[in-house]
Amino acid sequence: MGIEFKTSINEGIKLAEKENKLLYIDFFHIDCGGCKALGNIVYPHKNIEDLITSYTIPVRISVTANPKDAEEYNVAWFPNLRLGRVKNGKFIEDYRYIGYLPPEDFIPTIKVAIGISNFNDNKFEEADKIFTEIIEKYPGTQQEAEALYWLGVTRYKMKQDPSPLKERWNVILTKYPTSIWAKKASFIKQ
């Protein structure tokens, strides 16, 4: 069947709020190779279709046909993917990814985005579940490092105890010492 993308951000906002889902926006350009690959390789993938349609209202916006949307959302490069919540008729961006990713990287990246949206909405148990799943299913990936970072933060917020935070961040410092996530956590060693 495929992902049924809406072609209007306003329509997506209304549906996301009505269905209590996140909003996924893909800004694309008709001449963009990465955008074409998303459409031809990534989106037809069954696991990606299930993931996107389970958690989000998907919107795909051609910046050629909708230059005002591109300007309003400050879109300068493609593919340009946004994921976030809708509150009171407004899109609240929680995650942005620019560029192409193959399916095996796209899935955990979108899961990280969903986890961060849950975290930002104070849905810490849901965020915890998603970050834990990423760590278990995608070991050795950039997304695992990011999920470890956010799982530590989530558990700190849940328990107001810094020990789960430090525990996860120490894993990052050991397993991913050159990652941006290790740099963000590096102050705990000082």
Looking at residue 7, what DSSP letter applies? S
- Token output for 72: 């309003």
**pLDDT (tens digit, 9 = 90+) per residue, 55-70?**
999 999 999 999 999 9
The whole-number average pLDDT for the span 162-181 is 96
Tell me which amino acid residue 20 is. N
Burial of 140 (0-12, 13-18, 19+ CB in 10 A): exposed
Share of the chain above pLDDT 70, in %: 99
The mean pLDDT of 79-84, rounded to a whole number, is 98
Least confident window among 1-5, 89-93, 178-182: 1-5
Q: What is the number of other CB atoms lying within 10 angstroms of the CB of residue 123?
A: 16
Asked if residue 139 has pLDDT above 80, the reply is yes
Over range 26-48, report the average pLDDT. Answer: 97
Fold that domain 1-100 belongs to in CATH: Glutaredoxin (3.40.30)
Does residue 1 carry a pLDDT above 80? no
Q: Rounded distance, CA 104 to CA 47, Å?
A: 10
- Determine the pLDDT at residue 190: 66
Task: Tokens for 180, please give them.
Answer: 């941006």
| 72 burial via Cβ count (<10 Å: 0-12, 13-18, 19+) | exposed
Q: Which part of the chain has CATH 3.40.30.10?
A: 1-100
pTM of the model: 0.96
